[in-house]
C-alpha cells in the first residue's frame, strides 16, 4: 500500500490477487464487486485531482480549484466507507475488510449522480476557455511510435490510441460482469489528449460504480475462517489497471510454501522513460504542465 501511496488500493489488490491464486483462495462475489467499486473510487479521486492541477498549471484557477474540490469529495467518501481516505487496509486475502450496507449504497449512488452533473459543468466551462485550450493543445506531444517502442501504459498510452486496459484485456474482480464502454482513447498524444483521457475515464468510473452498486450481490465480503496455505515451488502473476496504468505483481514460493519473492511493477517505471521525449522542444514554462499531464510516481519508479 505504500509503494505508491495514491494507488494504495490497486497495489494491494494486485498483491492479494497473486496470493489468492497461490493459495487457491476463492473470493466471494460481493467482495469482487466491492473491489471494483473501491478501485474505481481511487481512479476517480486521482483523475479529478490531475484534471484540476493540469488546469491550475496553465493559470486557470477556476479549473484547479474545482478539481481539488471534487477530489476531496471522493476522498471523504472513501474515508466514510472504509475508514481510510486512501482506501488502505480495505483489501485482504480472500476479499475486502470493509463492506457496505444498503444505506451506504443509496448514499453513494446519489452522490455519484451529483458528482457527475457537477463535473460535467466544470468541464463545459473548461472546454469553453480559449486560453486554457491554447496551453493544452500541441504541448508535450508524445508520438505513437515512441510510446509503442517503450511499451507505454495507462493514460499516456491511451492518449496516442493504444487501447490496452487490463480491466478489459484480462478482467479481474467483477469487471467481466459489469458495463464497460470502449477503452477511453485519444490520438494526438499531447497534454490535451491526456487531459481528455482522464475526463473520459472519470465518467466511465462513475458508470461502472453505479452498475456495480445496482448488481451488488448478497453474501460475505471476505472468505470466513480463512487458513492460508500457499502452493510449493509456485509462481503467480497478477495485473490490475491502476489509475496511472497497468500494475503487475510477480510472486514466488519455495519448497516449503513460503513466499520468496515479490516483484511489483508500477506503471511509472515504464512511463518515466518517455517524459523526456514529450518535453523535448517545448518552452521551459510548459515543462510543469507536461510533467503534471503524466503525473508519475517517484516511489513507484524507485523499486
- The CA-atom distances, in angstroms, between 78 and each of 32, 85, 86, 104, 166 are 17, 5, 7, 11, 23
Question: Residue 302 has what pLDDT?
Answer: 79
In this prediction, residue 148 has a pLDDT band, given cuts at 50, 70 and 90, of very high
Provide mean pLDDT across the span 260-264: 97
List beta partners, residue 111: none
In this prediction, residue 134 has a pLDDT band, given cuts at 50, 70 and 90, of very high
Question: Residue 271 has what pLDDT?
Answer: 96
CA 186 – CA 162 distance, rounded (Å): 9
Q: Which of 26-40, 139-153, 221-235 has the lowest mean pLDDT?
A: 221-235
- Give tens-digit pLDDT for 45-100: 999 999 999 999 999 999 999 999 999 999 999 999 999 999 999 999 999 999 99
Residue 36, exposed/middle/buried by CB under 10 A (0-12, 13-18, 19+)? buried
The percent of residues above 70 in pLDDT, for the chain, comes to 100
CA 48 – CA 66 distance, rounded (Å): 9
Pairing of strands 246-253, 95-96: unpaired
- Give tens-digit pLDDT for 161-220: 999 999 999 999 999 999 888 899 999 999 999 999 999 999 999 999 999 999 999 999
- Calculate the CA 12 to chain-centre distance: 12
Provide mean pLDDT across the span 99-117: 96
Check residue 231 and report its DSSP letter: P
Provide mean pLDDT across the span 97-107: 95
CA 173 – CA 214 distance, rounded (Å): 16
In this prediction, residue 303 has a pLDDT band, given cuts at 50, 70 and 90, of low
Check residue 26 and report its DSSP letter: P
CA 29 – CA 31 distance, rounded (Å): 5
Helix axis angle, 191-215 relative to 102-127, nearest 10°? 160
- The x, y and z cell numbers of residue 167, run together, are 480491466
Q: Is the distance from CB of 6 to CB of 86 less than 8 angstroms?
A: yes
- Give tens-digit pLDDT for 278-302: 999 899 989 999 999 999 999 988 7
Amino acid at each position: 500500500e505504500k509503494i505508491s501511496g495514491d494507488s494504495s488500493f490497486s497495489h494491494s489488490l494486485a498483491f492479494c490477487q497473486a496470493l489468492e491464486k497461490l493459495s487457491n483462495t476463492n473470493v466471494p462475489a460481493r467482495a469482487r464487486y466491492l473491489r471494483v467499486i473501491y478501485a474505481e473510487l481511487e481512479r476517480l479521486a486521482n483523475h479529478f485531482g490531475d484534471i484540476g492541477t493540469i488546469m491550475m498549471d496553465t493559470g486557470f484557477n477556476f479549473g484547479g480549484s474545482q478539481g481539488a474540490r471534487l477530489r476531496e469529495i471522493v476522498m471523504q467518501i472513501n474515508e466514510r466507507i472504509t475508514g481510510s481516505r486512501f482506501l488502505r487496509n480495505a483489501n485482504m486475502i480472500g476479499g475486502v475488510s470493509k463492506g457496505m450496507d444498503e444505506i451506504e449504497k443509496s448514499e453513494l449512488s446519489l452522490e455519484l449522480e451529483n458528482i457527475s452533473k457537477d463535473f460535467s459543468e466544470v468541464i463545459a466551462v473548461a472546454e469553453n476557455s480559449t486560453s486554457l485550450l491554447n496551453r493544452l493543445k500541441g504541448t508535450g506531444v508524445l508520438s505513437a511510435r515512441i510510446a509503442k517502442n517503450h511499451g507505454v501504459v495507462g493514460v499516456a498510452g491511451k492518449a496516442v490510441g493504444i487501447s490496452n486496459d487490463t480491466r478489459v484485456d484480462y478482467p479481474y474482480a467483477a469487471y467481466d460482469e459489469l458495463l464497460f464502454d470502449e477503452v477511453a482513447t485519444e490520438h494526438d498524444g499531447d497534454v490535451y489528449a491526456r487531459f481528455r483521457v482522464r475526463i473520459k475515464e472519470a465518467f466511465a468510473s462513475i458508470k461502472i460504480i453505479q452498475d456495480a452498486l445496482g448488481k451488488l450481490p448478497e453474501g460475505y465480503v471476505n472468505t470466513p475462517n480463512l487458513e492460508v496455505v500457499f502452493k510449493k515451488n509456485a509462481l503467480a502473476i497478477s495485473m490490475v489497471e491502476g489509475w496511472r496504468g497497468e500494475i503487475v505483481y510477480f510472486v514466488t514460493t519455495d519448497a516449503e510454501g513460503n513466499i520468496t519473492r515479490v516483484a511489483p511493477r508500477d506503471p511509472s517505471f515504464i512511463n518515466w522513460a518517455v517524459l523526456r521525449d514529450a518535453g523535448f522542444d517545448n518552452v521551459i514554462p510548459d515543462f510543469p504542465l507536461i510533467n503534471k499531464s503524466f503525473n508519475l510516481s517517484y516511489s513507484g519508479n524507485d523499486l
